[in-house]
Structure 1
Amino acid sequence: MTRRMSTAFGFLIWLILGFISSSSQVEASTTHHQLLHTSIVDQINRDPTAGWRATLNPGFSNYTSAQFKRLLGVKKPTPQYHLGSIPILTHPKSLKLPSNFDARTVWSHCTTIATILGHGHCGSCWAFGAVEALSDRFCIHFRMNISLSVNDLLACCGFMCGDGCDGGYPIAAWRYLVRNGVVTDKCDPYFDDAGCSHPGCEPAFPTPKCEKKCKGKNQIWEESKHFSVNAYRISSDPHDIMTEIYQNGPVEVSFTVYEDFAYYKSGVYKHVTGDVMGGHAVKLIGWGTTKEGEDYWLLANQWNRSWGDDGFFKIRRGTNECGIEDDVVAGLPSTKNLIRKYSDGGAKSDDV
């Protein structure tokens, strides 16, 4: 190799190493900087077209962008092998729906609908949305006030649902509820109800191990299982989504989260500023229209009650804001395992 060629080759290597170094620095600066900034709050609250109020939500006070992304556990897009056999439901347009609907008041005897949980420092929203909605539907259809186990689904579904705390697929969660069911939360409580809110949380908590054994005494894993009859998607037409909730109860939805969503306090959210952070799953429980005439969806989040409007939020309805109407999934509760036969020929109802 001539001296000129050697010099040129060395210069090329220097350029490549410099590019890699600068790229790493950019990535680090965009993922590990502090999540919340007062300038964003001011920008949103001074915007008369925003339609919602922002705040420095205390639960994220010490979070970096990387830690926030960890909470967003919906993998996108959903692989075709998960969707191929899943029906897409539509409903007749003849049903007259109310202009405002809140599942918390319509089914006020169902305590799980109004319950706000926290999934800690784990991207398990995909599992929470499914289990919460199925718990609600057991009460709505069978008048059973039960809290089902997110931990069972998160730990035991395995690669079929995704990667546990590193994210999963909502429709795969519902397929697990059909095939395997989930035990009650008393049998297998969630592994982390506190989370991690101080600097240096990474690496985040790993996915819990699947033990298939009740933590509480006098409980049997197999007998504690509760199932879904089916798993289906709902058409993205808002009327179909509203009808499904009106007739059967809350559903699970997933959407794209931008940086400004972390600041939500009240009002009807729509994206104003910030980059894409990831996919998130929540429970959709109703709808309405503001005094100003803006249609919205009403949803329950899993970031504890310190976030948003006491844990709940509204998002613009009818315009597919952040893809909120694209991926709506659900299933109906099953009577399987609720009636057990005993050797004396009698039967007894499940007492959970």
Structure 2
Amino acid sequence: MGFSTRVFLLTYLFLLGTISPSFYSHQTLFQLELCTDLEYQTVQDSIVKKINEHPNAGWQASMNPRFSNFTVGEFKRLLGVKPTPDRELRQTPTIIHSPSLKLPDQFDARTAWSQCSSIGRILDQGHCGSCWAFGAVESLSDRFCIHFGMNISLSVNDLLACCGFLCGGGCNGGYPIYAWRYLMHHGVVTEECDPYFDDIGCSHPGCEPAYPTPKCVRKCVNGNQMWRASKHYSLSAYRVDSNPHNIMAEVYKNGPVEVSFSVYEDFAHYKSGVYKHIIGAMLGGHAVKLIGWGTTDDGEDYWLMANQWNRSWGDDGYFMIRRGTNECGIERGVVAGLPSSKNTAREFADDGAYLSV
């Protein structure tokens, strides 16, 4: 709903005697606008029409069933990436790969490491703004398989519930780089030990009410498993330099990474093709897993992403986004870490990349 429409609504209510003249204070007008904005539907026919009729969109939109009953306010709760303070970014090691490394034009981690079932899984964060935790734990799970041959599924719930204020606000959002630091210092148990708290997913209309952050119990649901013995760690926590070559090299050598980007209204309508922002306001930050790259037949370079909004959203849960232009800030928010041999029997070999601070 536009500003002029909201003003018309206010005027209409005033003429009916529903509101008094004092209601027109700047603060109250702003509050009403904010409330109205949060209550309108996330997916709209008008946005689908504009995208699909746009000559240069490069992607297709649909009335996505995943968010058919969502208001904007409900949708924004899933966008759980908080902006990392600049000082913290400057203090975080940044990995840079050799520019001489030859990389393929197309790469898909699902086929490169077909033995790793975790890479192709599409999960569901349900009612919680836990994307920051999903991106980290999913990537680390993949890397344990790639480097150690361990097909394991690690616990998002451990990170979400037990990192506390150090990572942010749990279901109210967090910081991806702090998530990786938790994985380095405290590790996470397996999904079998501590399954994700929201086992309903998004099966009922509107996915409401939003769920609070689960409590940290530090006890496996199976009494035969020990919490500490189930822990798996990251050896490191670092950023990846925003040059696309460095991002591709990191994925090619070490496996999927966690990326953050700004989500606009049109992204909720994504169905297929190479996404780039066309229309709508910015709603928040989101984290996903980057698993590959390529170029379309039309010459559009893209990143291949695995989302955690279940398979009813997007292209069976996946999406492509424009590569090489920092679309929606996606090339600036790449973080990762290497799997640690702690609590495992195998040692990890140096991969030859170097870090800068």
TM-score by length of 1: 0.90
- Structure 1 81/213 Cα, relative in aligned 2: closer, same or farther at 3 Å? farther
Q: Deviations over 1:234-292 (max 9, x none)?
A: 00000000000000000000000000000000000000100001000000000000011
Deviation for aligned residue 1:163: 0.3
1:285 maps to which of 291, 298, 306: 291
Asked if 1:209 is matched to 2:215, the reply is yes
Distance in 1, matches of 2:202 and 2:310, equals 13
Q: Deviations over 1:203-247 (max 9, x none)?
A: 510000000000023100000000000000000000000000000
Amino acid at match of 2:189: V
Amino acid at match of 1:273: I
Asked if 1:332 is matched to 2:338, the reply is yes
1:30 maps to which of 32, 37, 60: 37
Q: Deviations over 1:52-75 (max 9, x none)?
A: 000011111100000000000000
TM-score by length of 2: 0.89
Kept after mapping to 2: 8 A contact 1:119/1:193: no
In structure 2, what is the equivalent of residue 44 of structure 1? 51
Kept after mapping to 1: 8 A contact 2:139/2:257: yes
1:265 maps to which of 265, 268, 271: 271
The 5 A counterparts of 1:44-63 are: 44-63=51-70
Kept after mapping to 1: 8 A contact 2:127/2:209: no
In structure 2, what is the equivalent of residue 20 of structure 1? 27
Deviation for aligned residue 1:21: 2.4
- Structure 1 231/129 Cα, relative in aligned 2: closer, same or farther at 3 Å? same
Q: What is the total number of aligned residue pairs between the two structures?
A: 327
Kept after mapping to 1: 8 A contact 2:23/2:29: no
The 5 A counterparts of 1:1-352 are: 18-76=25-83, 78-80=84-86, 82-196=88-202, 198=204, 203-339=209-345
In structure 2, what is the equivalent of residue 343 of structure 1? none
Distance in 2, matches of 1:127 and 1:157, equals 10
Deviation for aligned residue 1:129: 0.2
Deviation for aligned residue 1:316: 0.2
Distance in 2, matches of 1:82 and 1:223, equals 32
Distance in 2, matches of 1:197 and 1:66, equals 18
Unaligned runs of 5+ in 1: 1-13, 341-352
Distance in 2, matches of 1:309 and 1:94, equals 34
| Backbone CA RMSD of aligned residues | 1.7
Structure 1 vs Structure 2: percent identity of aligned residues?
A: 67
Amino acid at match of 1:30: D
Distance in 2, matches of 1:167 and 1:314, equals 24
- Higher Rg of the two aligned structures: 1
Distance in 2, matches of 1:186 and 1:201, equals 25
Amino acid at match of 1:32: E
- Structure 1 314/201 Cα, relative in aligned 2: closer, same or farther at 3 Å? closer
Kept after mapping to 2: 8 A contact 1:60/1:197: no
Deviation for aligned residue 1:15: 5.7
Secondary structure of the corresponding residue to residue 127 of structure 1: helix
Kept after mapping to 2: 8 A contact 1:124/1:168: yes
Unaligned runs of 5+ in 2: 1-20, 347-357
Kept after mapping to 2: 8 A contact 1:118/1:194: no
Deviation for aligned residue 1:85: 3.5
Deviation for aligned residue 1:312: 0.4
In structure 2, what is the equivalent of residue 9 of structure 1? none
- Structure 1 248/122 Cα, relative in aligned 2: closer, same or farther at 3 Å? same
Deviation for aligned residue 1:19: 2.2
Distance in 2, matches of 1:63 and 1:130, equals 26
Kept after mapping to 2: 8 A contact 1:62/1:198: no
Kept after mapping to 1: 8 A contact 2:69/2:206: no
Distance in 2, matches of 1:204 and 1:334, equals 35
